[in-house]
Amino acid sequence: MSLSRSGLSLLRGKHCPCINQLSVRNAHFTFYPETPDPSAGETTKVTMLQSITDAMDIALTKDPTACVFGEDVAFGGVFRCTVGLREKFGKERVFNTPLCEQGIAGFGIGMAVAGATAIAEIQFADYIFPAFDQLVNEGAKYRYRSGNLFDCGSLTVRATWGAVGHGALYHSQSPEAYFAHTPGLKIVIPRSPSKAKGLLLSCIRDKNPCIFFEPKILYRSAVEQVPVKDYELPLGKADIIMKGDDVTLIGWGTQIHVLREVAELAQQKLGVSCEVIDLVSIVPWDRETLFNSVIKTGRCIVSHEAPYTGGFGAELAAAIQENCFLNLEAPVQRVCGHDTPFPHIFEPFYLPDKWRVLEAIKKVTNF
């Protein structure tokens, strides 16, 4: 393990530079808070990290077998998502692990196979790769290889994900496409505090192993009214954030807020009406909602922070062109990160910001 790892730095009494200030000084988006449905009952104004803490609190309260574990989670974690849980539920249910992602994933698989509910934290998605073999060769295949006699469906792996504004190449990656290639895993990325709480509870209670990627830049910058009650949101169901007739814009996580801003910009500057869709879950993904939108608009842009080549946008573009070809007025466009390691000082040029998406809108409308 690298001695520069944030968990080890914290254990030595230092602060991790990429999370010391979770500011939005370099943010490439504006967060759009959402108004909860009146039927949701009592709400409270919280950040995304607080909504995630609340979801784990509810899960631990209602499921006596549930445990939360990972590097530094006992004192609250480097992002503070597990603050207060050890004090409330005890060291047997909320505990630190060694700096070993492969061990964290393997332990979680074993715990889930034994019948408990395992909520594992990988401190950064960038460091989930040592656990890749455990997740894709063991966790994802456990049910299939046993003929449904055994499974590790009560495993949820949480990991911080995406750009943070100053994370550079080891704290900014978006690895969802790697896992989307493997049948047996569900992959979810929330865009807001209210979505994070409901989707995380759905993952924890789902009967399949889930990977829950949390956009780290939204931990503190995303603030909205979130229902206090225990609730779940469906996996595999995309959300239409804004309705439109001319261009379909598809994204997930932080990028949804970029797309919402560019949709307003396109309407003002170009007179183009954009339909913005949050994919919500990468696997399973909502084909019906996407195809119906593209059939209506005839034009589609997919945007994500991960690199262009092999990003999940390529899968969406291929599926849309297979199923909506006769309705397309222009080729499906992808506005993504570049095929380079994630840069530090050049991050503003790497990220798919509103101006790059606006250029893509001009391209498809003028095709």
Q: Is 101 part of the annotated catalytic residue set?
A: yes
Full strand arrangement of the beta sheet holding 333-337: 239-242, 274-278, 247-251, 300-307, 333-337
CB-based contacts of 233: which residues, under 8 Å, 6+ apart? Answer: 195, 198, 199, 202, 280
Point out the catalytic residue in the list 71, 121, 138, 171: 171
Question: Which of 28, 71, 101, 166 is flagged as catalytic?
Answer: 101
How many Cα atoms sit within 13 Å of 171 on the Cβ side?
21
In angstroms, how far is CA 56 from the centroid of its own chain? 16
Sign, CA torsion 34/40/43/48: negative
The pairing of strands 43-47 and 223-227 is antiparallel
Report the C-alpha gap between 154 and 291 in whole angstroms.
32
Task: Write the burial class of residue 170 (CB in 10 Å: 0-12 exposed, 13-18 middle, 19+ buried).
Answer: middle
Report the alpha-carbon distance of residue 164 to residue 110 in Å, rounded: 32
The verdict on whether 224 is a catalytic residue reads no
The dihedrals phi and psi of 334, each to the nearest 5 degrees, come to -120, 130
Positions marked catalytic: 101, 171
